[in-house]
Amino acid sequence: MNMRYLNIRATVTSLLATGMLVTSGCASMNQKERGAVIGAGAGAAIGGVIGNQTGSTARGAIIGAVVGGAAGAIIGHQMDQQAKELDQSIPGAKVERVGEGIEVTFESGLLFDFDSDRIRSDAAKNFQELANSLQKFGNSNLLIVGHTDSQGEDAYNMNLSQRRANSASAYLQSLGVPASRISTAGRGESEPVASNDTDAGRQLNRRVEVAIYASPEYREQVKKSSSGQ
């Protein structure tokens, strides 16, 4: 096992431990609700930390939720089914299986007008299909990550990417996806997937990524069932 992986795993463990601090601000929630909020928030935090080392906050959240072993195989099988359905129902998005999760990537131009964080009306069907899938497979959490190209001021791009991630989250909530399952992050121009020196590269960098991964409750449930507990 290499040192880089050990460092990532140690950081993930630390973040999960400190997640207990969140409960102090959730006193009015029941245990299930607190667990859901902590789980979604931990996904964003872990995604950010691992993203610094892997270059992808969305993939970092999926890596942070990996279980492995027999439980991981069960979760992976479900994700195979969900990814196949998403790939068929959302033709405008790139759907990719990553580890024990799914990464869905939308070009920003498909969702938003230039310099806007308002969801385009013609993008509604894509979000409806995503919401339908999330309701059908209700044992997952998701992290929505907004990205921009490098044109413009860094601070403005960071703010725009966060606003777009928040807008996507709000839209999914309006379609019935519980807020407790969703976390968001804006990364501005910090995680490019192509060169910003060309129009084609900048278009690829302007995107919204959705990381879908098993919720903490489902991971525990599958681990217990797969071990015969």
CB 186 within 8 A of CB 165: yes
Here the tokens at position 107 are 């070009």
Tokens 């044109």 label which residue? 151
**CA 167, 208, 10: angle at the middle one, nearest 5?**
105
Tokens 């928040």 label which residue? 166
CA 7 to chain centre: 22
Position 13 scores a pLDDT of 44
pLDDT tens digit sequence for 108-130: 988 999 899 999 988 989 999 99
- Exposed, middle or buried, 150 (CB in 10 Å: 0-12/13-18/19+)? middle
Which one is predicted more confidently, 48 or 173? 173
Percent pLDDT > 70 in the chain is 76
Residue 81, C-beta contacts closer than 8 angstroms, at least 6 positions apart = 137
pLDDT tens digit sequence for 13-27: 444 443 333 333 333
* Strand intervals (E) in the chain: 94-98, 101-107, 140-147, 182-186, 207-214
What global pTM score does this model have? 0.80
Residue 193, phi then psi, degrees to nearest 5 = -110, 0
